[in-house]
Amino acid sequence: AQSVTQPDIHITVSEGASLELRCNYSYGATPYLFWYVQSPGQGLQLLLKYFSGDTLVQGIKGFEAEFKRSQSSFNLRKPSVHWSDAAEYFCAVGILEYGNKLVFGAGTILRVKS
Amino acid sequence: DGGITQSPKYLFRKEGQNVTLSCEQNLNHDAMYWYRQDPGQGLRLIYYSQIVNDFQKGDIAEGYSVSREKKESFPLTVTSAQKNPTAFYLCASTSQAGGSYEQYFGPGTRLTVT
């Protein structure tokens, strides 16, 4: 069965520090991978996506993610965190054979210390 | 502006009542989805529809029903058979054309059943 694991439920970083959020997936075929961000009480906004090609993908708000097939990982990174980055982050894998449904991880809540 | 609208933002119902959540999109997307979000569990797929007048059950369809009579609209009914209906409900859509697989999300409806 397809699944996504985000090992860190909460992460706290200082403003200006670097950030890495971990994501591991389980899926038999070539994955379509996404990172979404959610502010409290809001919908989800797409940060970036990986479909194929270059394994390092750039997204909005200065985020990037690297796909590593050998590790089944798709970690999200940002070199310098801003206070406005505080939110919940979700990693997801797209399952094309089931209507392109998304299977989500449980999310990582990011807190930024000033 | 193109996007997905969900109404209302907050909904309160008594136990035993059916309630319908609205989802409308003007993105001309073919596929639409309903997800349920509970704290610490990420998002789980309830139903999805790839074309008008057709829909499929997702991972947690019991106690829910949907219809897709128009391309723009995909309402979700939470029936009295749903044992734990209190949750945050998110609607999403995607275009099936051109290899675009990312889903766009609405702002969500928070349903509280007492």
Residue A100 pLDDT grade (very low, low, confident, very high; cuts 50, 70, 90):
confident
Report the residue from B42, B50, B102 with minimal CB separation from A107: B42
Q: Compute the average pLDDT of residues A11-27.
A: 97
**Nearest-CA residue of chain A relative to B4?**
A43
Is the predicted pLDDT of residue A39 greater than 90, yes or no? Answer: yes
- What are the chain B neighbours of A90 within 8 Å (beta carbons)? 42-43
Inter-residue long-range contacts of B81-88, CB under 8 Å, 24+ positions, other chains counted = B85/B13, B85/B19, B85/B111, B85/B113, B86/B111, B86/B112, B86/B113, B87/B36, B87/B37, B87/B38, B87/B111, B88/B36, B88/B37, B88/B38
A-chain residues near B107 (CB < 8 A) = 42-43
Set of chain A residues whose Cβ sits within 8 Å of the Cβ of B31: 99-100
Tell me the β-bridge partners of A89: A37, A108
CA distance B93 to chain A (A): 10
What lies within 8 Å, CB to CB, of B47 at 6+ separation is B33, B34, B55, B56, B57, B58, B61, B64, B66, B76
Which residues in chain B land under pLDDT 70? Answer: 1, 98-100
- Residue pairs between chains A and B whose CB atoms are closer than 8 Å: 64
CB contact under 8 A, B103 and A9: no
A-facing residues of B in 18-57 (CB < 8 A) are 31, 33, 35, 40-45, 48, 50, 56
Q: Calculate the average pLDDT of chain A.
A: 94
Beta strands in chain B (DSSP E): 4-7, 10-13, 19-25, 31-37, 43-51, 54-57, 64-66, 76-78, 87-94, 104-105, 109-113
For range A42-48, the mean pLDDT: 95
